[in-house]
Amino acid sequence: MIRFLAIFVLMPSTLVAQDWSPRDGDRLFDQATLDTRLRGTTITFFDDGQSRFFEDGRYTYTYANDGGTGYGYFEVKDNSTICVDFVTGFSRCDMYVLDAADRLVLITEAGDRFPIRP
């Protein structure tokens, strides 16, 4: 029984563990630097989607071609990470890095990379 309980307790933390994969040459931000860089700004991805980080912690993501907008609240964390709690109840965390070419890149928990337009 104790063995089953130990597996059950450990399993949820394993399932939600992040699998971010920064590449060699990627540089991480500290919490204060990432906050300063993104708070109060809008970033545009190469597919024309836009993330807007409001001064007061609100967040919106507008899909390309007026494909709708998601609303939420963001929090800048340690280790170059921003987490968003959407008003729908969905939450996500993404890592932001500077790549070897000094381009801002979003890395999802699954390891997908999305460069930001300059």
Residue pair 53/41 in contact by the 8 Å Cβ criterion: yes
Residues in CB range of 6: below 8 A, 6 or more apart = none
pLDDT at 18: 55
- As for how many domains the chain has, the answer is 1
Tell me: pLDDT of 25 over 60: yes
Domain extent for 53: 2-115
Between CA 22 and CA 95 the distance in angstroms is: 9
pLDDT tens digits for 56-108? 999 999 999 988 999 999 999 999 999 999 999 999 999 999 999 999 999 99
